[in-house]
Amino acid sequence: MIIPNKLIKLEYDPTKDILVVEWPDFAYYSLPQLHHILDNIIETIRHYDISYLMLDARTTVITISQDDYDTIAQKFIKDLMKTRIKKVARLSTEDFEREKQVDEIKDDPRVTISIKSFSTVDEALDWFKT
């Protein structure tokens, strides 16, 4: 089922308890708008009491500074840890630098959610089953 949202595509499968999110293009939004979009994702997770999140970042364009991206991503992870999310699967890009940055965030010992990157949707769905 598609969850209505004017800024981002949210698709929820209640039978599998998986929310699929197309990660926003950071090129089109201001920092306050990006925070608002990510807060909407968190509120959706809380409202539907979702356990699994798939972030599709394969086509996302990032044009903000490294520091701003880190701040946004760290806040998003911190907010996710306050929900019932158990696993986050991220469909990765071909951008080595961005993937390195994501690895640093997900490998932080303070992160209590399982986060893993995948190249295909099927791999991510299989991981959710384990």
Helix (H, G, I), strand (E, B) or coil at 46: helix
Average pLDDT over residues 91-110: 80
Give the pLDDT band (50/70/90) at residue 69.
confident
Examine the pLDDT at 14 and tell me if it is beyond 90: yes
Give the helix/strand (H/E) hosting 42.
Answer: helix 31-48
- What does the domain layout of the chain look like in residue ranges? 13-121
Q: Quickly name the fold that domain 13-121 has.
A: Purple Acid Phosphatase; chain A, domain 2 (3.60.21)
pLDDT tens-digit series, residues 21-62: 988 777 667 888 889 999 999 999 999 999 999 999 887 767
List b or e across 58-86, with b for residues whose CB sees 16 or more CB atoms inside 10 angstroms.
eebebebeeeebeebbeebbebbeebebe
According to the model, what pLDDT value does residue 104 have? 81
Give the pLDDT band (50/70/90) at residue 4.
confident
Q: What is the pTM of this model?
A: 0.90
Query: Which residue is associated with the tokens 């595509």?
Result: 9
